[in-house]
Structure 1
Amino acid sequence: MSHPADVGTICGGVCGCRQNWEVPGPATRALLATSIGHVLPTVSRLAKAMGMTVYASPQLVDIIDDRGGRRLEVLFERLARELTAAETEALRVVTDPPGEGAALTARLLTAPTLSVELARRGVTVEVGVLAEAEFWSAYQPIVSLADRSVVAHEALLRGVVDGREVGGGDLFFVAEQAGWLHRLDRIGRESAIAGAVPWLGDDDLFVNFDPTSIYRPQVCLASTERVVHDTGIAPEQLVFEVVESHAIADRGHLVSILDHYRSLGWRVALDDVGAGWSSLSLLAAVRPEVVKLDKALVQELPDDGARTVLKAVTDLAHQLGAVVVAEGIETERLADEVTALGADMGQGWLFGRPVRPDPPVEEPEGRWQPVTSHRA
């Protein structure tokens, strides 16, 4: 049962975290009115293309969604992209209007503009794009430097937006600008887990997260916990990683999230660990189970300065009981360098680029065949 103070949010479902949005419930009918002649034909065209019933007059469009209102929500998202800001300011919207007569007239006269309705629903142009995107995870192998066997995979979010593939960096940039970061971060975590289960075998799975997207771990991570439970992946196979720059922003909040992860049997990785006192003090405070060396520093090897810093970080990580992963390994020379420094595992194009797994092949006995695991 949700707390009485909890409200619906654009992150999906019910959440007790901050940045709550009072989102209107789904509507099954909408009236849109404007004196700008060219706008309503655009609205009618989009609504008809989505299979909704449309009744149009010169200054008014009546749209009916007989499938529960989801298509009407998508229509609003598309209008956010199709219309200019000036057009959304000139278009008034009444959802689930009263019957004919004075009550309907009064509602039309006091109706909010489309721009206000979009804001109430948490819809921006960027959110509309993301809401219609197709997401999946690509996976990059992580190998043991001792024998080059694949022991883990890092999940990296990808998407198709307006017919073109978009990388995780661009997706999260748009999501952050649109106030949609918490939702996309949740999608990334859950896509990573669900997409890996058919082929992961006994390998570990590294899943990225942004602590600024998690406001109360017990609430905001509940759906991720359900995915882990439903897929049957072993908790000890999961390693949740956070980049150092995000970790520094609010160390106390990060520690509370990591404590929750560990209470569930999941492990923690600190990513992009590099130079400076902040890296060393952060390692001591967070005490991650895995430390990933900064790619830029690794690729500066055999520079003496980079070697000194990476050696110091590797030694401290080992003293704290952590496993060390060197990122950005693209040549055998770099692999030899980080091995000499004491790194335990490596990740980079030398060992494999991020790929989207093929659909799993079912064995005659009905069990899924792991397709990329090489752990002995």
Structure 2
Amino acid sequence: MRRGARFRLARRMSAALLPGERPSALPAHRGRTRTSMLAQWVAYLSGLGGVFAVLSLTVPPERQLEALGVELIAIASCAVASVLWLRAARLQKGMAVMLMTGCGVVSTVAVVLASNPPSGAYIDLRITRREWLMLLGSFMIAAIAIRRLVTELRDRAEQLAYVSRTDQLTGVANRRAWDEEVPREAERARRDGLPFCVAILEVDRLKAYNEMRGHREGDRLLQRAAASWRNCLRSSDFIARYEGECFAILLRRCSMNAAVAILQRLRMAVPEEQTASAGVARWDGHESSEDLVRRAGEALHAAKTSGRDRVKISDIDPETTSVTATDWRNLIQDVLTQRGVVAVYQPIVTLATGEVRGFEALARPNRQLVDLGVERMFAAAQEMGLARELDWLCRRAALEGAAAIPPGVPVFVNCNVSGLVDPVHRVDQMLLLLRYVGRSPRDVVMEITEREIVGDLGRLRSVVDAYRQEGFRFAIDDVGEGHSTLEVLAATQPEFVKIARSLVVAASSTGARAAIRAVVAFARETGASVIAEGLEVAASARLMRSLEVDLGQGYLFARPSLLDASPMTIRLPVSGPQVPVPPEPVDDTPWTLGAAVAADGGAA
């Protein structure tokens, strides 16, 4: 099978598999029936007859009128052949037969006049039957060769157009086809007065999926997701791979309610039990296609920063979008350049005595410089590839703000995995920072957060060993949720294990208690201390003590706050009577150790 034929067959098969594609994305090949093919061959012969008549005029006849007649008939033969060639695929059968008959008659007259020299010619030009057949065969061979070259050129042009407009991984349209299709649809909707919506759909946490299963499996996930979404869309809709794990969808003649329903169906169709986030915007009737797509992208960002696995609608007025829309990249850059981060501190106490054992430094945006939530700040930095820079800025703020904490009291400094293993911010950089703030590495606990999946446990283990040789200690944050897995615990062997708030809150259930006991058993085996996070009521603190959890942290003891000159007296005594958590049942209402001291009269 010829390459052009194979390509046409493959393109037709892909067009059958892609119901969401429009003919503009996959150019259709013109079908040929037997009548049209016969008409084209007759057009070839008729055109050859006209060319032959024109060539015969190289030996001019004696009479100018005869020469003019041959020219007119030759021109007529070529004209009829051209019309028949160009319209062969669109002509009805009866009209095609009439034109073929007329074309044959005209070409035959042209050949007869040209091959029979008129009387009185000076040169006797005679062509035998053999010579005529040889000449006609030569013209036919040339015509066939030209036809094959034209067909091959057309196939190559269509193949190039197809490849330039199709994403090679998923088989849907690419960004170029999308950029051409949206303005075209906006113009059509403006002319016809019909609504349409644009949506940006993204597979959640594809980077983490790639790190866990490999990029090949990630590519297969995108292929299966694209195929699944094509099957869920209407035949009039248009889907394209926008960039990376993002897909853009054009929903023609679609209201916002219908668009949300379609996107919810697409979100539920993601394979491998993965999730997807989507943002959708409805064309307002006059905005540009760029503004429309940008609004859909901002809605997608809102869906991601609010927890992912959801659909967000763009409700921003396009006329004020340029003023009110958030420029996340510039905002995060402002946080980094202006050091727009401050640290607040929450004490970690011994549940049995109420003694302060350390402080966790929690980074917060400086609201005097930027108006931004902490979770949104970290999520935006993660998406823009600035998580390492923000992580280092938070470390600096945590250590610079801890000057009031006395020596010997550890400061828990949060760090993500990518920032910890970053070769730019190695342990020597941390030592320089500690030398600047005047704190010993033995008073710093590097608390590894759960925001990222750990891809290279060997690299993490080597970095932890390098820090530990300098005197740093480690804690694993939020064990029981996020990405704080048993593999990370085994690889780092931390000195502190922090139980996630979700387990602490659910500790009354059998499953949560069993998980907490497993964490405590691991800590006892490795010599680590266990910290219960999110303690807000006395009953939770008593239950943690019964499960042999040593330390606690939460609003029950103190809210995160800036440090004053005497941080060790924030709601908690350093010396004097010890204040145990009350053993008798009490109401599940927030309480402070100060209130407990007053209630118990300071007795142990």
* TM-score grouping bracket, smaller chain normalisation: 0.5 to 0.7
Q: CA deviation at 1:219?
A: 4.7
Structure 1 pair 308–370 and aligned structure 2 pair: CA distance change class (3 A): closer
What is the DSSP-based 3-state SS (H/G/I as helix, E as strand, rest coil) of the residue aligned with 2:517?
helix
Alignment RMSD (CA, Å): 2.9
2:414 is the alignment partner of 1:208:
yes
Structure 1 pair 201–219 and aligned structure 2 pair: CA distance change class (3 A): closer
Structure 2 Cα separation of the partners of residues 193 and 257 of structure 1: 20
Aligned residue pairs, count: 248
Structure 2 Cα separation of the partners of residues 247 and 152 of structure 1: 27
1:150 equivalent in structure 2 = 356
Asked if the contact 2:416–2:452 (Cα under 8 Å) also holds between the matched residues in 1, the reply is yes
2:400 equivalent in structure 1 = 194
Q: CA deviation at 1:168?
A: 3.2
Mapping 1:1-376, distance limit 5 Å: 124-130=329-335, 131-132=337-338, 134-160=340-366, 163=369, 165-217=371-423, 219-244=425-450, 246=452, 248-274=454-480, 279-358=485-564, 360=565, 372=570, 374-376=573-575
Asked if the contact 1:129–1:161 (Cα under 8 Å) also holds between the matched residues in 2, the reply is no
Higher relative contact order structure (alpha carbons within 8 Å, sequence separation ≥ 6) = 1
Asked if the contact 1:238–1:267 (Cα under 8 Å) also holds between the matched residues in 2, the reply is yes
**Letter of the aligned partner of 1:129 in structure 2?**
D
TM-score, normalised via structure 1 length: 0.59
Asked if the contact 1:272–1:292 (Cα under 8 Å) also holds between the matched residues in 2, the reply is yes
Asked if the contact 2:450–2:483 (Cα under 8 Å) also holds between the matched residues in 1, the reply is no
What is the DSSP-based 3-state SS (H/G/I as helix, E as strand, rest coil) of the residue aligned with 1:311?
helix
**Letter of the aligned partner of 2:387 in structure 1?**
L
Structure 1 pair 126–177 and aligned structure 2 pair: CA distance change class (3 A): farther
Q: CA deviation at 1:157?
A: 0.7
Structure 1 Cα separation of the partners of residues 343 and 369 of structure 2: 17
Structure 1 pair 302–194 and aligned structure 2 pair: CA distance change class (3 A): same
Asked if the contact 1:209–1:240 (Cα under 8 Å) also holds between the matched residues in 2, the reply is yes
**Letter of the aligned partner of 2:544 in structure 1?**
V
Structure 2: 5+ residue runs without aligned partners? 1-289, 292-327, 576-604
1:96 equivalent in structure 2 = none
**Letter of the aligned partner of 1:346 in structure 2?**
G
Structure 1 pair 370–284 and aligned structure 2 pair: CA distance change class (3 A): closer
Structure 1 pair 126–169 and aligned structure 2 pair: CA distance change class (3 A): same
TM-score, normalised via structure 2 length: 0.38
**Letter of the aligned partner of 1:208 in structure 2?**
N
Asked if the contact 1:129–1:162 (Cα under 8 Å) also holds between the matched residues in 2, the reply is no
Q: CA deviation at 1:151?
A: 1.3
Structure 1 pair 219–305 and aligned structure 2 pair: CA distance change class (3 A): closer
What is the DSSP-based 3-state SS (H/G/I as helix, E as strand, rest coil) of the residue aligned with 1:261?
helix
Structure 2 Cα separation of the partners of residues 263 and 326 of structure 1: 27
Greater fraction of residues in helix = 2
**Letter of the aligned partner of 1:302 in structure 2?**
S
Structure 1 pair 269–232 and aligned structure 2 pair: CA distance change class (3 A): same
What is the DSSP-based 3-state SS (H/G/I as helix, E as strand, rest coil) of the residue aligned with 1:302?
coil
Structure 1 Cα separation of the partners of residues 367 and 339 of structure 2: 5
Structure 1 pair 214–205 and aligned structure 2 pair: CA distance change class (3 A): closer
What is the DSSP-based 3-state SS (H/G/I as helix, E as strand, rest coil) of the residue aligned with 1:249?
coil
Structure 2 Cα separation of the partners of residues 219 and 141 of structure 1: 27
**Letter of the aligned partner of 1:206 in structure 2?**
F
Structure 1 pair 244–219 and aligned structure 2 pair: CA distance change class (3 A): closer
Larger Rg computed on CA atoms: 2
Asked if the contact 1:270–1:290 (Cα under 8 Å) also holds between the matched residues in 2, the reply is yes
